[in-house]
Chains A and B, each alone.
Chain A
Amino acid sequence: MQKEDLLLKVQDIFRDVLDDEEIVLSETSTAEDVEGWDSLTHIQLIVAIEKKFKIKFTSKEILSWKNVGELIDCLASKLA
């Protein structure tokens, strides 16, 4: 799957979990750019992504992402 497709799918998950259809993600998006994305909802987003793609991130991976791009890169490497 292309990174652009992954980004769109992850964006759908964000919209669903954060209950906001107006969220638009880019690779440089961070928690500061997305209303409602904080340390609490972060975990709900991770669980939703893991369920959707049937993969498992490690704790180290989750805690080291600086933006959506790094999340997508990590996700792509799991799916490859």
Chain B
Amino acid sequence: MSFNSLPFLLFFVVVFTLYWFPLREKTKAQNILILLASWFFYGYASLKMLPLLIGATALFYGIGLALKHCKSEKGASWISALGVVLGVGLLLYFKYFNFFIESFSSLFGALGLQTNWHTFQIILPLGLSFITFKLISYVVEIRRGKLEPETDFIAFAAYVAFFPCLLSGPIDRPQFLGQLHKTRSFDYDTAAEGIRQFLWGLAKKVLIADRCSLVIDPVWENISGASGSMLLTAALLFSFQMYTDFSGYSDMAIGTGKLLGFRVARNFNYPFFATNVAEYWRRWHMSLTGWLTDYVFMPLNVRFRDWGQFGMILAIVINMVLVGLWHGANWTFGVFGLYHGLLFVPLILSGAFAKKHKLKPGWLGLPKLSDFGGMVLTFLLVTVGLIIFKADSIAQAWQYLAGMAHLETLKGFYLFFLHPDFRTKTVLIIALMILEWRNRTVEFPLVPLKCYHWAVRYAIYLVLVCLLIMLWGKNLTFLYIEF
């Protein structure tokens, strides 16, 4: 039940109506509704895996209670370690077990040793990477003394399974539980903002992401037959597709949350305006990078703190490899993470890593030339990384990059900007970038609409809806669903 589908619309209308009418201001009943709706939402997508979600929820709820009642420091330490091991173990088993078997088999094979290990038929439960991260952070936050164990099972299970964020995030921290205990009154402004954000996310998905895939997919299916310029065009478009698809999804999730009166974690902050790679990662998939910063990078950085810059480089490279591998069991993701980790090295050595760069507009409100240069360079570096990310194997990524490495490739810029077949996409992408630049200080570009005269506001909605109807293509699933 994808956000951009009719079943979701019908499902949400029912939930919204029950939530704000018969159950209005009845917090417990609303939480029960959220929980049942979330489990239904998950079961609709993957009924077989619903018991796993419920079981994991119950188990971690129990671990929280055990921590609450444990009086000894050593006991609490063991219980929280068990929680983390179980969370990581779930992820390792479902996501990486076959990958380890295959990798060790080929390693032994390369050393001339025969193995008869078999891979297993393991189906990756939907949203597992997001769910386990929520569960692990719950245990770690209690252990760090920053959270009280939850005693209300309904609230805890509703946090874990909160349907807007269940399948592809954003990854909310357990502090979200506080919102589940508060009385939620219907606030027209928040709900209207939720609809605007949902509409904005849908527009990015339908108008840009889905249309880009029409160009990108055929190129990737036949890399050897594609010209260098076509490879470059598809690579540039893929960066925009990835961004509009995933940030579009996140906007729809956050918008849905707002319609139910919740503040969901922000996931994107205009990443293509980053002037270096460190800044880019502070703006891209923020709920994942924030999670890994708190639970992986910080502990490593604390441990390596006496090693100076080398310690920080080591911590960031390990962190970025994990960011890569989190996406799936394939060496391409590991290399993608390593590539980004290495891009941090010059930034750490120069000290630019820790500095937050404030974007100040120059002539006509446009970015300053030096900032613009940094943005273009960062975008191109990110695009190279996304080629590795999208490839099925390192060999395929290499084939793609090698295919671009000649002068003819420069025609790709012509194709991208001027070719009649790409004109609509280019216009839409440039329009997106202009709108984002003008509204880069607010959460999403439609926020200022609330201050417009109602006639202008509704005219803009109408134009957006008409565009959506006119350009609605094949209803494609979201790229991040597979992670």
Report the minimal beta-carbon distance from B359 to chain A, rounded to whole angstroms.
16
Is B20 an interface residue when CB atoms closer than 8 A count as contact?
A: no
Choice from B293, B303, B356 contacting A59 with Cβ under 8 Å: B303
* Contact indicator B305/A46 (Cβ below 8 Å): yes
Choice from A36, A38, A43 contacting B302 with Cβ under 8 Å: A43
**Interchain CA distance A42-B144 in the complex, whole Å:** 17
Q: In the complex, what residues of A have CB within 8 A of residue B305's CB? A: 43, 46-47
Report the minimal beta-carbon distance from A68 to chain B, rounded to whole angstroms.
15
* Contact indicator B144/A63 (Cβ below 8 Å): yes
Q: In the complex, what residues of B have CB within 8 A of residue A63's CB? A: 144, 298-299, 302
Choice from A36, A39, A44 contacting B297 with Cβ under 8 Å: A39
Report the minimal beta-carbon distance from A45 to chain B, rounded to whole angstroms.
11
* Contact indicator A43/B356 (Cβ below 8 Å): no
**Interchain CA distance A64-B298 in the complex, whole Å:** 12
Q: In the complex, what residues of A have CB within 8 A of residue B145's CB? A: 64, 66
* Contact indicator A59/B354 (Cβ below 8 Å): no
Identity of the chain A residue whose Cβ is nearest the Cβ of B316 in the assembled complex: A40
Q: In the complex, what residues of B have CB within 8 A of residue A26's CB? A: none
Is B232 an interface residue when CB atoms closer than 8 A count as contact?
A: no
Chain B, 287-298, contact with A by CB distance < 8 Å: what is the 0/1 string?
A: 000000110011
27 A-B contacts (beta carbon < 8 Å): A36-B356, A38-B354, A38-B356, A39-B294, A39-B298, A39-B301, A40-B354, A41-B354, A42-B298, A43-B298, A43-B301, A43-B305, A43-B312, A44-B354, A46-B302, A46-B305, A47-B306, A59-B299, A59-B302, A62-B302, A63-B144, A63-B299, A63-B302, A64-B145, A64-B146, A66-B145, A66-B146
Besides A46-B305, A59-B299, A64-B146, 15 other CB < 8 A contacts? A36-B356, A39-B294, A39-B298, A39-B301, A40-B354, A43-B301, A43-B305, A46-B302, A59-B302, A63-B298, A63-B302, A64-B144, A64-B145, A66-B145, A66-B146
